[in-house]
Structure 1
Amino acid sequence: MTTDQEEALFDMQLIIDDVLLSQSEILQYLAEDGRFDLNASHNGLYLPISRELAEKLGCSRFCSDPHPAYREGMMGRLRAIEGSADGRAAMQGDLGATERVVEAINMLQATVMAAIINGDLMLD
């Protein structure tokens, strides 16, 4: 008898994972404020587990521990958002700036998701 895990073809890939959350002051601030959720639908997508299926589909494959360059790149973008005028103002309670920061993070997630789906960004 096989388990569901043995038969699974896809797994949920988080765009921003718990490692990035733990390293990003702006994400932690937004999470505490209820404006960022790791488990939100726009923060993840199902990717093929096997390299062969990913190649057939032309996308990246699921990776439980993305390549360090992925996290470095994501942290660079998150630090840029955090260090911007809006990022600094958001962390001081400016609601307008907070909305703009949330939108910037949503755009980052959407851009990365598109690159992963199109096979332009590999996670491993």
Structure 2
Amino acid sequence: MLFGQEHVERYRATDGAEGHDWQGTTALILTTTGRRSGERRDTPLIYQRYGDDYLVVASKGGADEPPLWYLNLQADPDVEVQVLGDRFKARARTATPQEKQEMWPVMTAAWPAYDDYQKKTDRDIPVVVLERVAS
């Protein structure tokens, strides 16, 4: 099973032929800028299409603190995304509570454990919308 940096490397090397389809769902690579280091950080994340946008969930498995990639995109919402061989710039934003009502079921259909993660924490787990930026 691919995970972490090995997942990123295989995904990049094969344009997602290895790593896009993952444990019965789909993964993309999100590249954020470290809010302290300024370095690029690649994270494989489960995603779903939502119209022209892509959705990811800042769950960290239901931990009480958000994942580092989410803190990074809050500091700098300009990100890069790779879906299969398609690499593009995007702007990341947290879904509004109203949007999340529609988006959460889309994500739990792809990864049912998100509901369990939400039960494990008092933190409201955000859905992140990745909007492609015209190049």
Greater per-residue strand proportion: 2
Q: Tell me the TM-score normalized by structure 1.
A: 0.23
Instruction: Report which structure shows greater RCO (CA 8 Å, sep ≥6).
Output: 1
Q: Tell me the TM-score normalized by structure 2.
A: 0.22
Greater per-residue helix proportion: 1
